[in-house]
Structure 1
Amino acid sequence: MRPGQWHLTEDLDGFLDQAGDFLQSRPVLHTIPLTVTESLRKRGVAAYGAEAPILGWLERGGEVRAALFRTPPRRLVLTPLTTEEADALAAHLAGLDYLLPGVNADHDTATAFAEAWQRHVDATPLLHERQRLYRLGALTSPEPLPDGQGRVAGEPDREQLMCWYHEFVDSIGGVASSDASSWADTRIAHGRIRLWQTPDGTPVSMAGATPMVAGQIRVAPVYTPAHLRRRGYAGAATVDVSRAALAAGAAEVLLFADLANPTSNGLYQRIGYRPVTDFALYDFSYGGPEAG
């Protein structure tokens, strides 16, 4: 079967007109493109940096079969592709002289694209992280629950959130989606960060949530400072924000966990999250010693 035709654009509205229904048809697997394109729509493309995002969809037989996006300088994000489709996309992007920093997709798609990119561009793929996507089943509070309570982060927490945002991005080796002040202000304004605090009112952990799109909310980020870990704070914060997502009417509550961290994966399953599928994040190395 022919892999179909890819259409690329920088026009968000045009992309959503073509691929929006496809993305919403599988909101769990498409959680990343759904939440990022919703953020682009609300905040404006310019909020993501000077370089315009790249958006695209695969059309075959008059139907959209897959989609992609990239918000520079971050990795290319793909919805599930066959090996043939991944190879055709890599050839197409290579022909347009794209220089991609990496790819993020379900494990099979990411691996197929990384191998195809190596063939077409002579780039060395380096596995950065393996993640597992979870969806919430029956929410269960961890036992014992640490002393304290959850609450919505407010303006007095702004400096704390900015600090923790920097620490979180550094801890995962990630690229900040915005400056820390804008990140904190947006989440405070919309009540999208919940803090777990000790009985004396000291915040010890945070758990955020994406806006609801197509009935799904994704929990992100979950962060506890290193010196406060292994006390149950992350589990308490995650349950608190998950409960708030359900109360807001989410049909699906999702989260990603780094598979290299058995502690967090075990925790999420104990509080009711169930595996959906695995994702892989690859970085691409060009022409350096690693590529030899």
Structure 2
Amino acid sequence: MDVVTGHDPRRFAERVRGFLAERPARHSVILTRLARALAGERAEPPQSELWWWVEQPDGEVVGALMQTPPHGAYLTADDDAVVRALARAAWVARPDLRSVGGPDPSGQVFADEWVRRGGPSAEVVMRQRLLQVDELVEPPAPPGRHRLAGPADVPLLRGWGEAFTDEATPGGARIDHVTARVAAGLLHVWEVDGRPVSMAAVTLPEAGVARVQLVYTPPQERGRGYAAACVAAVTREQLAEPGRTCMLYTDAANPTSNAVYERLGYRVIGTATDLAFAATIDA
């Protein structure tokens, strides 16, 4: 098998999109990041992005890996030998890699190969569950209503986005998750008496799958059903489109959020793990 590496997402898409679209929920992270890159949302400089894939002698694609700064690497492959081949290629091209993630067990297999080649040890940052819904179970309706977030909401929601990052990955890089999503009409809020109390974002659909993300309720507003109502509203809109389904990632160690999503009809379809390499965990 051959590992192909490049900086051009268009070439990656030509060769790999079909492979990713075979299981679009499992591959949602790569598909949505690829779509943004193709739309012009590139790292700076664009040459800092790397896109890898693995081909069998007959041309069949059997694995893929991307690394788009400031994010870590993300990969998918079913065969451990393919994962190790991707790790070896990444070791040559990006020896300062900070982190890796992917559907289980690919992230851990990659990290083990990284360490075997002389890299720093890896620490699990988060174990995740992949959940998908095909039919929404309506939650009890709390006070308030759902609406799209607008420009006037950005200062408040940007702070929420930073709080989301601090809770999900303490010490992680703070990235503006909000501004572009508001501009694209992808960030939703639940409001009570004109005051936002919860938010949830959604990706543009790829291969029929939209991913709910950036679900956050300030601590003082929790336990009132606002997040469930907001996620339900976003999910309802997506499922109303023919051939559309929704998925999301949850922290496997957070029973509260997992229970909320399962009550809405989301079901577990897989697991994933994010790992950071020891030399960069505290960076």
Q: Tell me if both proteins adopt one fold, taking TM over 0.5 as the criterion.
A: yes
Distance 1:188 1:243 in 2: 19
CA contact (8 A) 1:137 1:274 kept: no
Match of 2:213 among 220, 235, 244: 220
CA contact (8 A) 1:73 1:101 kept: no
Aligned to 1:120: 117
SS of equivalent to 2:215: strand
Flag the 1:96–1:191 CA change in 2: closer, same or farther, 3 A.
Answer: closer
AA matched with 2:60: E
Alignment of 1:1-292 (within 5 A): 4-45=1-42, 48-50=43-45, 52-60=48-56, 61-96=58-93, 98-143=95-140, 145-173=141-169, 174-177=172-175, 180=176, 183-198=177-192, 200-249=193-242, 251-286=244-279
CA contact (8 A) 2:54 2:86 kept: no
> What are the ranges of 5 or more consecutive residues in structure 2 without an aligned counterpart?
none
Flag the 1:264–1:287 CA change in 2: closer, same or farther, 3 A.
Answer: closer
CA contact (8 A) 2:190 2:198 kept: yes
List, as ranges, runs of 4+ consecutive aligned residues in structure 1 with deviation greater than 6 Å.
none
Distance 1:288 1:31 in 2: 25
Distance 2:18 2:127 in 1: 28
SS of equivalent to 1:79: strand
Deviation, structure 1 residue 250: 5.4
Deviation, structure 1 residue 122: 3.3
For normalisation by structure 2, the TM-score amounts to 0.92
Q: Deviations over 1:151-208 (max 9, x none)?
A: 111122122222211211222124345xx3xx4342223221111111x111100011
AA matched with 1:168: F
Deviation, structure 1 residue 249: 4.1
Distance 1:130 1:77 in 2: 14
CA contact (8 A) 1:150 1:240 kept: yes
Query: Aligned Cα RMSD in Å?
Result: 2.0
Distance 1:166 1:213 in 2: 26
Flag the 1:131–1:142 CA change in 2: closer, same or farther, 3 A.
Answer: same
Q: Deviations over 1:214-273 (max 9, x none)?
A: 111000110001121111111111101111112344522000000110000011001100
CA contact (8 A) 1:94 1:121 kept: no
CA contact (8 A) 1:123 1:287 kept: no
For normalisation by structure 1, the TM-score amounts to 0.89
CA contact (8 A) 1:217 1:250 kept: no
> What are the ranges of 5 or more consecutive residues in structure 1 without an aligned counterpart?
none
SS of equivalent to 2:97: coil
Report sequence identity in percent: 33
SS of equivalent to 1:275: strand
Distance 2:26 2:228 in 1: 24
